[in-house]
Structure 1
């Protein structure tokens, strides 16, 4: 009797503490969790910064289209022993003859033709930016998918905690009933002990589930890149979209899947690389101009002081006549890389279709299991109610009541898992389609 009272008091305290904790926790909705991840997640922030870098790189200057304007200045001074013999035979020697030369000015260099490579490089920079956008989208899809999967995992664990809590209440009632029957001589001590063992078993399952629930919260906080000690609760509902159509998903994946888009962009970059290499067959023509000042002084010589200033301009052209056949090799390599990019697109397309078909079959199965487990949970609940009534009046044995109790709790747990698996399949399909909506 004393042990039974202690167990009841301890159980009441545990349930009371759990209830207070759930009520005191802030509700974190899925929309809020996704928004926090978009703002805080480290991988998303890194991918966003990389996209900013790619965007800054898209410029005419980076591509080499714009001219280079520069300023220059130089000075050269010397002190030497100088000896000169002039045309008339006069010989002059001077120890410590000084020569000072200064020049300064502004200049411009401009590559006006390089086989159109500069324009090809500009297009490459644009495609690299598009590649950064695809990588950012892929990162966002992956991290949002992680958030949604972990969030709905918490939802099903929260549902399982509720189910385990309810079975503890039933087991506690069974202990009390067995204890009362024992006190009036209608039950053996063995029945009381069995009831207490089953209660402790249920409490153990509850504590294990509570531990898993707490650890999953820490995992979600990590994905959200916030303090892992922040406590919260999640919604209890899992709304499943059971109207997904495979052909629609395949169409979306063809147009939006970031991995496929990445391969398409890589092919475009390979095409531009081949075009740029072919451009090396043409000459490079450069124009240059400038305005320079020059001053020179000499203590010995025909001209003691010389000043000049003015414009200079000119053109230069160069073309490779022979470079060890590297031009032909580079073109062949670029063509093979272009062929590889085409193969990669075909492979990625087939892989995505295979993943979609596999995930869709799993999705159909899981949606069907949700309906089946919903009906099964209702049947198990009705069976438990009837069994509990009969047990209270002593018309069925303890083992039959325990079987009905376990059938009910297992049915609730399976329903919770079925809903989570169906939602997981839905998230996977939408992620493959590149359209992961909340």
Structure 2
């Protein structure tokens, strides 16, 4: 008995504390925090920045290369020379010094258009990365609101459990009075106490589950915050177009399909880049140099200084490379074909998912309307049973069953409501509209 009373007291205290000045985390605020702090979105944005850097003019090969080089040499050795007239000279410790500096410039004038196609491929790669980032954000949207609405679901279910506990405590109080005045047996009192205890335990478990899901939401948000906040529980359904229009939007906007289309474009550029090896390449090189030397007495010249400009053109044409270019082009064509097959496979798969999700959505809306009617029916039944219970016309078991039916119907309606909303979000993701949600 003491354990039961302590359990009831703990539940009441917990509910009271949670009801005091709780922070409300709105859907709009949750979305803003997620877009700013979510780890996956941060990585996607960094990948997008890398792809943007790769499309820079500095990464295309269209610019020339320039380099400065310089050097100095010192040589000290013993020398002996013999001249044509037979005379000779011998020097110990002959020193030779030389200095040089140059500025060189190289530029590829023509490389078979390989640079051009590579640059276009880099731009398509950036577009692909942009679509990948968009898909990451879409998935994060769906993950965020799936968890957010799960918290809302559990919050409303917890309210139902609170209501069930309140009803059970009222019944327990009534059973105590009846037992004290000899109007009921001790068995009725014990049954009421057991029901209160069971409802208390269920509520404690619901509170724990709710806290766990909130911690999961914190990970999606990318922040650490206490789990004493509450969320918005109202649900507004979006007026979704008919299936044919939804199907057209999916084909036009689905992130996965758009990525496959970009992969085809990237693979087609691989063919052109490899074909560029069939053509010659023409390069320009020029340099300006300065050289100075200081020679020992054994040298014909005591020293020399020179400077000047050098320039030249180089042409190369790989007439036959053993068939490696031919093989690369053939493999690139097969890669394009594979990407086209994959695109068709994804179209069939996504269209099938769309049809299945659409049917689930319509069925869930029907279930939602049916559950709404069930709530009205069970509430009416419970109200009538309560009146008859007060008059002693029904047993505590019948009253408890009516109570359970009423609470279960409210929970079922609550679950149906959020299940329908989550399926709606899946439809929006498939059609590429999930990022357009307004709150």
Q: Sort the TM-score into its range (normalised by shorter chain).
A: over 0.9
Residue 231 (structure 2) aligned to one of 215, 229, 234:
234
Question: Structure 2 length normalisation: TM-score?
Answer: 0.95
Residue 371 (structure 1) aligns with: 369
CA deviation map 1:198-255 (0-9, x unaligned): 1211111111111111111111011111115353101121222353432222222222
Q: What is the SS of the residue equivalent to 1:295?
A: strand
Q: For 1:104-123, what aligned pairs fall within 5 Å after superposition? A: 104-123=101-120
| One of 79, 93, 109 as aligned partner of 1:82 | 79
Which residue number corresponds to residue 252 of structure 1? 249
> Residues 70-96 of structure 1, C-alpha deviation per residue, up to 9 Å, x if partnerless?
211122222233333334444333332
Distance 1:244 1:205 in 2: 41
Post-superposition CA distance 1:138-176 (Å, at most 9, x none): 111111111101000011111001111111111111112
In structure 2, the partner of 1:225 is 222
**Residue 181 (structure 1) aligns with:** 178
User: Is residue 2:181 matched to residue 1:194?
Assistant: no
Deviation at 1:15, TM superposition (A): 2.9
Offset of residue 268 of structure 1: 1.0
Q: Number of aligned residue pairs: give it.
A: 435
Is structure 2 residue 407 aligned with structure 1 residue 409? yes
Q: Which string of whole-angstrom CA distances, capped at 9 and with x for unpartnered residues, describes residues 111-141 of structure 1?
A: 0100011111111221121121111111111
Which 5+ residue runs of structure 1 have no aligned equivalent?
none
1:347 and 2:345 matched: yes
CA displacement at 1:28 relative to structure 2: 0.2
SS of corresponding position for 1:381: helix
2:149 pairs, out of 149, 152, 160, with: 152
Supply the RMSD in Å over aligned alpha carbons.
1.8
Alignment gaps of 5+ in structure 2: none
* Alpha-carbon shift at residue 24 of structure 1 (Å): 1.8
Cα pair distance change 1:93/1:246, threshold 3 Å: farther
- In 1, distance between residues paired with 2:290 and 2:304? 11
What TM-score results when the alignment is normalised by the length of structure 1? 0.95
Q: Per the alignment, do residues 422 and 298 of structure 1 end up closer, same or farther by CA in structure 2, a change over 3 Å counting?
A: same
Q: What is the aligned partner in structure 1 of residue 324 from structure 2? A: 326
Give the equivalent residue in structure 2 for 1:383: 381
Other-structure match for 1:142: 139
Residue number in structure 2 paired with 1:276: 273
Q: Deviations over 1:173-195 (max 9, x none)?
A: 11122222222222111111111
Given that residues 71 and 105 in structure 1 are in contact (C-alpha distance below 8 angstroms), is that contact kept between their aligned partners in structure 2? yes
After alignment, is 272-281 or 56-65 more displaced? 56-65
